[in-house]
Structure 1
Amino acid sequence: MTSYIKMNKVANDAIVTSQYRHSSVIVGISIVLLLSVLHSVYVTSQLYTMNKRIDETVVDCKQDEVKNESLLRHRVRRFEGDAFIGAHVVGRRGSTIERTRPYQQSPASYFEWDSQQQDLSSMRLVDVIDDVRLDGTFLEIRASGYYYVYAQVTYYGKGLSPIGHETVKINNNQRLVLMGSQMYQRIGSARYGTGNRMSNSDSGYHGGVFYLLAGSKLGVRPMATNAAYHQSYFMQPTKSYFGLFFIHS
């Protein structure tokens, strides 16, 4: 009887142990499944967030494209109808002096220019002004931007010193030389063995791109190295001229 009871107890313990192990397996599988579900939810959430950011980036790019296109169209409309945005002026030296003859220019003064009665009101970026304080004619910038600036002057040298000209930017009473041209001419008799005055005539040209602020003035004067001399120049429209044109803001 005692033996039977012991066998029955062992059998019951085995059954309990088997049930416990079975429950442990089920719990383990449940935990694994739960972790898998949580991982799937996390991955799905991350993918959703990434896709949302990608969509927002695409929208931002499209908005930037629209803004850039709108800005470009605005600039085109702004300058629409202006065949030439800038100014071109030619030599002038008063009504009593013939432009076909050389004249002496004071190194302390800027050259005078003639707009040839162009309608500059439509050229909304540049004004041609005569400044009495600076004693010369200037191109005044009304809108900041990149401009191509050029100047040509025809010299009538006597072979005594270098001769040249320089383009100067004036902004808030500060003067900056942007470009300069210079040469050393020989008198006609030394070059050709004759006294032909026109053999002394040479042209100097320079040009370049500069960023100019609104309110800046540009003028042309004899080169500063000639400060001690009154050099002579030809101011014919085809020989001496000055100008600029707008490129980009």
Structure 2
Amino acid sequence: MSSQELGTVVVSGASSGFGRVTARRLAAQGHTVIAVARRADRLAELADGEGPGRVLPAVADVTDLDALERALDEHLPHCPPVVGLVNNAGLSSGFGPVQSAKVDDWRRMVDTNVSGLLHTTTLLLPRLIAGGRGHIVNIGSIAARYPYAGGNVYAATKAFVHQLSLSMRTDLEGTGVRVSCVAPGMARTEFALVRYDGDQERADRLYDGVSPLSPDDVADAVLWCLSRPPHVNVNMIEIMPTDQPFGLGFARRHA
């Protein structure tokens, strides 16, 4: 999918953060965007802000394959051909050593970060292959490559995303469908608030003295991948704040 190749792009996790900004910017480029998320009010606000028909809300949880298929089928028959999929839906639930983690947190991450990505992909990939073109961008994480204490299962789910992206590249050779993975480091979204179960004070402390990535920074990388000419496939992009090292700790600045 190049910048001149307009069509329908599906963005999961589009109610906030990377997904919301990516959906808005794709719509501004002239694409029809099907925005997938659980929060209907957030999706309605997003759609209202982009003009009639530019962003189409698909209210569904990506962990529920049947519900996701129904939500997409409300729009796909009436949209231009699908030219892109941004698998952004994902989360980190809970934080701490693996020996004291909660199984429910593990299940939530695996269901969303692994099964959810597979669900959107299996529903849309046949359309991309049939069209002989298109681009899938999966949102990974630097946690997949650089371990840190407390990140265990979240990091493992993102390692799955990275490896699946590379394996899909191999499987899709000759189809015209491209696959990229964008792996952000620390970014200021609702990520920490979800990880810390709604504890705003604890989430805010994570960013104290650090200049994290913004959703726009990550959307820049996604759109750059999508805008390359058809003969170019960007396999992987890692993006980190300048303040973030590869190991533990941050170069925290205080006034």
With the shorter chain as reference, the TM-score category is under 0.3
Q: Which is helix-richer, 1 or 2? A: 2
Give the structure-2-normalised TM-score: 0.26
Q: Which is strand-richer, 1 or 2? A: 1
When Rg is computed on C-alpha atoms for both structures, the one with the higher figure is 1
Give the structure-1-normalised TM-score: 0.27
Larger RCO, structure (CA 8 Å, separation 6 or more): 1
